[in-house]
Amino acid sequence: MDLSVVNKVPVTLEELSHITGGELIYRIFVSPNLVCKKCSKFLYPPITLVAGVGNFCGFCSDAQILAVGIRNSALETVLKILPIPCRNSSRGCPSVVEFSKTEDHLPICIFRDYCCPLKLYNKCQWEGGLSELLSHSLEKHADFAIRGKGTYVKKFTLAVNITYNNDIVKLLYAGNDTFILRVKCDTEASTLQFMLYYTGRAEELSNLSYNIYYGMCNQVYSTPIRAILHDTEFTKDVDERQTLTIDLTFTKQLVNNILLTSIVRIVSQTTDHNEQPSDDSLEHISCFICNIPVAEGLSEQSAPNPCALESLCSTCKGDFNTTSKYKIRKYRKTKRSRLLRRRIPTRRLKLYTCIMHRCPWKGVYSSIIAHLQNKHKRIISFKNCMDTTIKMHVDSVRCIVAYGQIFCVSYSDLEEVQCMQCAVQVLAPRNIAKNYKYKITVLDSRNEHRTYVRNEICQSMLCNNDDDLLSCVYIPYEILDQYSLNGKFPTQCRVMRLTDCVM
C-alpha cells in the first residue's frame, strides 16, 4: 500500500470513486479523529468520552477516566461493522476482525502481552510477548520450566511430593508449543489434581488433549483423556470439574518414595489415545522394589541369562508383574545388544550412607529422601535453588532434590590454603552428573546488589577421581571477609541442566 495515503484524510467524495475498500478502511483506521487521547492509537472498544478532552480507548479507560466520562455508544455504533486490524498487528498478528468483535479477539490473541504465570504466587511483575515467556522463565525461574520430548506426542516428566499440601505451577515447552501445568496436592482429600493450559491459538484447542501416566513398574496407570484449557482461563482457583484427579489413597500403596513420578502426555486428535506407554516412557518409571530406573535396570545385563527372558529388574530381581512384558522384553533386547559391546558389569543392589557424615543411617536409594526429610529436614530443598547462611571456618552440607536427581552441596573450610571449597555432587553416574552445572553466589551482607558468582560442572558421588577437584569452586578468605558480617555470609546455590543453559 502507498504510504502517502496515510496523510490523505479525511476522504473526499472524488477519492471514493477510485480508492479500494482496503485503502478506505486504512484511512479510517489512521484518522486522527479516531485515536485515543492518551495512547494515540486507534479507539478500540469500549470507548469513553470525556467532555472537553476527547475519546479514550478501552485500554486507557482507567477508574479515574471512567468516573468523569461516559461510554461513546454512538461512535461505537458507527464503527460496529468496520473490519480493523488487531491492536497487536505491529507485533505480527495478521487478524482483521470486526470492530464489535475486537473485545473477544484481543484476550486470546497470541501476540498480546503475557503476564508471568507465577504472578499469582510470587508476585513476579514481568510482562512480555509469548516468544519471550520461555526466555524469562529459564532466566528468572529455572525450576519452573520443564522441557518435553516428542513432536506429535509430547511427554513431560514431573515428580511431585505427595506427603504435604502443595500447589505447583510449571511451564512445559517442546518445539514451538508451550503449556502451563497446574498441580495441586491435597493431603486432606487425598487427591492430586492436574490442570493444563495451552498458550497458543484458541482454535487449536479442539485438536489437543492430555492424560497422565503414573505408578511404578509393577503397575503403570493412566488417567482418562481430558481436554486442554486456554491460558486465558488460568486462575489461582481450581475448578474440580476440569481437573484430572489421582486418588492418593490408592497411589500411596504403590509408591515407596515420597515423590510420585508422573508423565504428562499431550496428544493431537489424530493420535491413538489407547496405545500402550512407548519405550521412552519406560525410561521415566522406576523399579517397584529398588527404585532403580527401568532403563538403567534393564540395560545392566552383561550377559544372557534366564532373568533376561522374564520381566525382572536386573538389580534387585523384583517382578515387574503386569507391566507390558512385550514392551520390556523389546526394550531389554535393544538395550542389551547395544550395551554388551561396552561390557557394562552387573551392579548389585547397594546401600547408601547419609550425606551427613556423622549420621549412621544406611539404606537403599529409594529411602534416601524420606530419611533426609525425617531426620535432616532443615538441610533439604525441593527446588533447584537453595539459600543458606554459612559460618566462616565451619564445614556445612546441604541437599537439593531437583530434575529427578539428588544433589549434595558441600562447603568445606581449607585453612591450609586460606579458602573455602564449594562442590555439588550428584548421586548418579558420571555420565549423568556431567549434564548438570551449578552456580555459587556469595551475597554481600551489607549491600544486596553486590555479589560474587562462580560456576562449575557437577561431580558424581559414585566416583572418586582426582579430576573432580578441578570441578570445585574455591573462594579465598580475603573475598569472604569482604562479604561476611559477624563471621557469617549468605550464599545461594543453583543447579541447572546444561541443555537449559544452552537455550
- pLDDT tens, residue by residue, 178-237: 899 999 998 888 889 999 999 888 878 888 889 888 865 445 677 888 889 988 888 878
Q: Is the pLDDT of residue 10 over 70?
A: no
Verify that 221 and 134 share a domain, yes or no. Answer: yes
Verify that 414 and 310 share a domain, yes or no. Answer: no
Are the beta carbons of 195 and 167 closer than 8 angstroms? no
Are the beta carbons of 344 and 302 closer than 8 angstroms? yes
Verify that 456 and 415 share a domain, yes or no. Answer: yes
d(CA 34, CA 99): 13
Most confident region among 102-116, 327-341, 448-462 by mean pLDDT? 448-462
Higher pLDDT, 302 or 336: 336
Verify that 318 and 393 share a domain, yes or no. Answer: no
Task: Give percent above pLDDT 90 in the chain.
Answer: 10
d(CA 373, CA 384): 16
Domain boundary among 236, 254, 282: 282
Verify that 227 and 338 share a domain, yes or no. Answer: no
- Specify the 3-state DSSP secondary structure of 432: helix
Contacts for 49 with CB less than 8 Å, ≥ 6 apart: 55, 56, 69, 70, 71, 72, 75
Verify that 249 and 305 share a domain, yes or no. Answer: no
| pLDDT score for 466 | 53
Higher pLDDT, 130 or 9: 130
| pLDDT score for 301 | 35
| pTM for the predicted model, two decimal places | 0.48
The number of distinct structural domains making up the chain is: 4
Q: What is the mean pLDDT of residues 238-248?
A: 85
Verify that 121 and 249 share a domain, yes or no. Answer: yes
Verify that 83 and 130 share a domain, yes or no. Answer: no
In a domain, 21, yes or no: no
Domain boundary among 53, 78, 107: 107
Verify that 277 and 176 share a domain, yes or no. Answer: yes
Are the beta carbons of 219 and 254 closer than 8 angstroms? yes
Verify that 406 and 262 share a domain, yes or no. Answer: no
Q: Read off the amino acid at residue 116.
A: C
Q: Which CATH number do you get for residue 160?
A: 2.60.210.10
- Residue 321: pLDDT band by 50, 70, 90 thresholds? very low
The upper half-sphere exposure of residue 167, i.e. CA atoms within 13 Å in the direction of its Cβ, equals 9
In a domain, 50, yes or no: yes
Domain boundary among 231, 262, 282: 282
d(CA 86, CA 97): 7
Q: Is the pLDDT of residue 325 over 70?
A: no
In a domain, 10, yes or no: no
Contacts for 279 with CB less than 8 Å, ≥ 6 apart: 327, 330, 331, 334
Verify that 68 and 173 share a domain, yes or no. Answer: no
Phi-psi region of 150 (alpha: psi -120 to 50; beta: other; left: phi over 0): left
| pLDDT score for 400 | 92
In a domain, 368, yes or no: no
In a domain, 100, yes or no: yes
Residue 190 lies in domain: 114-282
Verify that 51 and 164 share a domain, yes or no. Answer: no
8-state DSSP, 347:
P
